[in-house]
Amino acid sequence: MIPPNDADWANKEGIPPLDDPAVQKYLDSRQAFIDLEHNQRHDAHFRKSMSPVVAEACRIVSRIRQQELREVWSLDPNVDPDDQIQADEIFYPGVMFTTAKKRVQSTKLWRIVRQMPKGSLLHAHLEAMFDLDLLIDLAFSTPGIHMYAPAPLLTAEDFDRAPFMFRYAATSVKEPSSGNRSIWTADYTPSSLIPIQKAATTFPQGGEQGFRAWLKGRMTLSAEHAYRHHHGVDAIWRYFGRCFPVIGSLVFYEPIFRRCFRRLLEELANDGIRYVDFRAAFAFEYRREGVEEPEKDYFEFFRVFKDEIEQFKTSSEGKRFYGARMIWTSLRFQSNREIADSMKQCISVKTAFPDVICGYDLVGQEDAGRPLVDLVPLLFWFRKLCADARVEIPFFFHAGECLGDGDSTDHNLFDAILLGTRRIGHGFSLFKHPLLIDTVKDKNILIECCPISNEILRLTGSIKQHPLPSLLSRGVSVSLCNDDPAVFGHGQNGLTHDFWQVVQGLENVGLSGLAVMAHNSILWSCYEDQSTSAWQSEIRSGIAGDGLKAQRLREWLTEFEAFCQWVVQEFGGEVDDAKN
């Protein structure tokens, strides 16, 4: 628009005003062009069918987002930028999550997204979801928890990288003259058990308080880790991989697991999540309460897993929680013999707990592991074993969690689709493949998108650079997931962080886009075992069907309407339309 004081100049030059018929015709054509493109997006049908209250809530959320981009996430244009930028806080629209998270929870947009009913969580690794502060507290309060390491931890590099773990033992291993020995001194006997209280009080960098902070740091990825993009993806995956043995050695002792898992379910339900498909890599040792020797199989683990879910569903906090199931996962870097053994264990557990196991996957860094094509003979064999055992264990493969284009890791997308995966975990590189995009749409394959995970693990610099908009603009079905929230430092479990990051960073998503992704999460949930034909039929029928998914979609829509009414009542009077 031409400033008023330049109007005379523009008139003399013959520059047409904004209301000139030719300019208006262009602008009308431009808007029609934009609308045509929007009609191909994933939320096009939802936007056309919105009720008045939902439409108004969407408008309010859009206005609040615009206000906060100006007032919360942008620098003051009247102040020197160098005076506003702090060493650990650099604000801009779409800022990296690890920088933004300190300020996020003070915003209206956070309050709104926090309240939103989110449907199901479809991609979450159990080992990386527990409240780490609670886990550490329980390690100190649970009798018999000991620390051990293959070598003493002496140097700064040892503290940052050296392996160590915990385990339950009724008594410590006796050492000659062990009174002054600790895991932090050169005379420590490798792999000997040290009570966690002793390890903490003798910690050379601040005693117990320092030990607790250090231990939590060894179980999480810091902002500094995420920012070092010049080190590459492999480097952060190495650090990421070092977190899991420490967490697993603590949490998979029955009394600790029960408390942590119950807290996890409470947090998820409190965040508006009503169902979860967990994943866990079954290579950990599980111990029953008071038993030093680990279980030889995972039957006892699943008995406790199921028991805690059923108890939670009868509680006041879990009365609206549908439940949770497990996608059994093997480690993709293992040998054929190890993976085959894991597959047989999966089928045995499925036979014993048919309502708990809902699928199979392979996990671990795709770039560093074996590609799916290398595992085709094993996967064919697994399907035959399932058929012989008369169990339904469909595939839900990780694929395309990489930066490659045409390499063996990127080609996991082709194999995942050909092998009949019902969902794709991450699918980060899918946007590079127009044929595969059309194929996942034709086959009703959902993408489990984990935007904060992709950012922290250095696949993208921020949500502004994420390929998610490319998929949504092509009408690909997507659900938002949190992947490894505890290790990523979310501070609380749930989907609010990822929902907030997407709606704050991407203009075209809005509340309607979040709603469709929540809707998708319900439609692609594994509430019950289904054949491929039944699975596809329910997805095609959607909310108009007569199955369990349609019923739960209708329940969610009722919740969402009530939520939108709350948005209108709570925030409708605060929106300043004149500035938007």
Q: Residue 421 is part of a domain; what is its CATH number?
A: 3.20.20.140
Per-residue pLDDT at 24: 94
Start-to-end CA distance of the chain, whole Å, equals 16
**Same-domain check for residues 312 and 370:** yes
Whether 473 and 522 map to the same domain: the answer is yes
Question: Looking at the structure, do residues 509 and 396 belong to the same domain, yes or no?
Answer: yes
Supply the pLDDT for residue 320: 95
**The pLDDT of residue 79:** 58
Q: Residue 504: phi, psi to the nearest 5?
A: -75, -35
Query: Sign of the C-alpha dihedral, residues 433, 436, 438, 444?
Result: negative
Looking at the fold, whether 120 and 152 belong to one and the same domain comes out as no
Q: Are 415 and 374 in contact (CB under 8 A)?
A: no
Residues 6+ apart with CB under 8 A from 112: 61, 64, 511, 567, 571
Residue 172 is predicted with a pLDDT of 60
CA distances from 447 to 73, 123, 165, 301, 405 (A): 29, 10, 35, 29, 18
**Do 304 and 207 belong to one domain?**
no
Tens of pLDDT, residues 223-282: 777 777 677 788 888 888 999 999 999 999 999 999 999 999 999 999 999 999 999 999
C-alpha span between 111 and 164 (Å, rounded): 40
pLDDT exceeds 70 at position 3: no
Share of the chain above pLDDT 70, in %: 94
Cα separation, 544 vs 542, whole angstroms? 5
Same domain, yes or no, for 202 and 332? no
* Per-residue tokens: 320: 């609206």
Please state the pTM of the whole predicted model: 0.92
Q: Amino acid letter at 172?
A: S
Q: Please, which pLDDT band fits residue 86 given cuts at 50, 70 and 90? A: low
Amino acid symbol at 83: D
User: What does the block give as tokens for 327?
Assistant: 């996608």
Structurally, how many domains does the chain consist of? 2
Is residue 103 one of the residues assigned to a domain?
A: no
Rounded to 5°, the CA angle 310-314-317 comes to: 110
pLDDT per residue as tens digits for the range 351-388: 999 999 999 999 999 999 899 999 999 999 999 999 99
Kindly state the average pLDDT of the residues 113-134.
97
Average pLDDT, the chain: 92
State the Cα–Cα distance between residues 43 and 301, nearest whole angstrom: 40
Residue 516: both structure tokens together: 């469709």
Residues 121 and 197 in one domain: no
Identify the pLDDT of residue 45. 87
CA distance 389 to 211: 49
Domain hosting 182: range is 143-218
Q: Per-residue pLDDT for 121 more than 70?
A: yes
- What are the φ/ψ torsions at residue 123 (nearest 5 degrees)? -140, 100
The interaxial angle of helices 52-71 and 548-571, nearest 10 deg, is 60
pLDDT at 152: 96
319 falls within a domain:
yes
Tens of pLDDT along 308-327? 999 999 999 999 999 999 99
Please check whether residues 119 and 214 belong to one and the same domain.
no
Judgement on whether residues 210 and 251 belong to the same structural domain of the protein: no
Q: Out of 237-246, 292-301, 513-522, pick the least confident.
A: 237-246
The pLDDT of 512-539, averaged and rounded, is 97
In a domain, 233, yes or no: no
Confidence of residue 87 (pLDDT cuts 50, 70, 90): very low
Give the pLDDT mean for 541-564.
97
* Domain annotation covers residue 557: yes
Span 443-464, average pLDDT: 94
Report the distance separating Cα 124 and Cα 135, nearest Å: 18
Output the pLDDT for position 578: 43
Task: Give the separation between CA 250 and CA 343, rounded to whole angstroms.
Answer: 25
Q: How confident is the model at residue 96 (pLDDT cuts 50, 70, 90)?
A: confident
